[in-house]
Every structure is written in structure tokens, then in C-alpha cells.
Amino acid sequence: MDSEGTELSTVARETFEYSIVTWAGRKYEEWVRSWAQPHPRDPRGLVQLPESIYEAFQQRAPGERLNRKQAEALGYPRVPGEQELARVRKELHDALGRCDWDRAHDLDAELRELQTRVAAMRVTALRTHSAVG
């Protein structure tokens, strides 16, 4: 399970790069890449990605690409870290409500770092590819 609380599937890096990314197509390539992470035991040879993305890939018809409806069902345009960001915002709100200033200070710093990281991830993962030529 990852920090987002999702189950992960493990695939060979070659399968990810040459099959899953190809299936995602240019429109969703960076978004799918944003969810992939190196496997902790074999970071060069294996990739982990959410089980839901891998299952959608496995259920595709030959030659079929990821479409808008499928991507939205998988959570597009949500990127990694957004669920954690919502959790920290709620904890900060609760700490302020309790007047727990030390905890609120710590959570504020965490929130700022997460907001920066998630914003950068969104820019990369959701960038549109213009036509070449």
C-alpha cells in the first residue's frame, strides 16, 4: 500500500515503459507516470503503480488506448499527494479549533511543503502535449 492508501501492483520496468505508457497515450502518459514509483527492492527493474491502473490496463482490448471516461474512473486528474494534502488541511483546521498552536505550526509547515509538491506534480502530470509539426 502507498501513502495514498491504495493497493499497488508490481510490473517490470519494460512492461511499464513499453506497454502501460503506450496504452495511456500522449494525453495521459505523464499522469500515469506520476502514479508510478520504483519498487523498493529493485528500483531499476520493477515499477509499482496503483492496482486500479494496472487492472484497467489488463482489461483493455488489443490496440485500445486509455480514454477520458476510463481515466476519470481511475481518478484523473487527481495526482499523488492530494489525499494526504486533504488530511493535513483537516488536521490543521482541527488543531486551530482546539487552539493547539504548536501542532498547528507544525501542520502549517507540512501543508506548505505538500502544497508545493502537489502543485509541481500537477503541472508535470497534467501538462498537455501539443501536436508536433
Per-domain residue ranges of the chain: 8-73, 82-125
- What's the pTM? 0.79
- Could you read off the pLDDT of 39-71 as tens digits, one per residue? 999 999 999 999 999 999 999 998 999 999 999
- Could you read off the pLDDT of 64-78 as tens digits, one per residue? 999 999 999 999 999
- Report yes or no: 31 and 72 within 8 Å, Cβ to Cβ: no
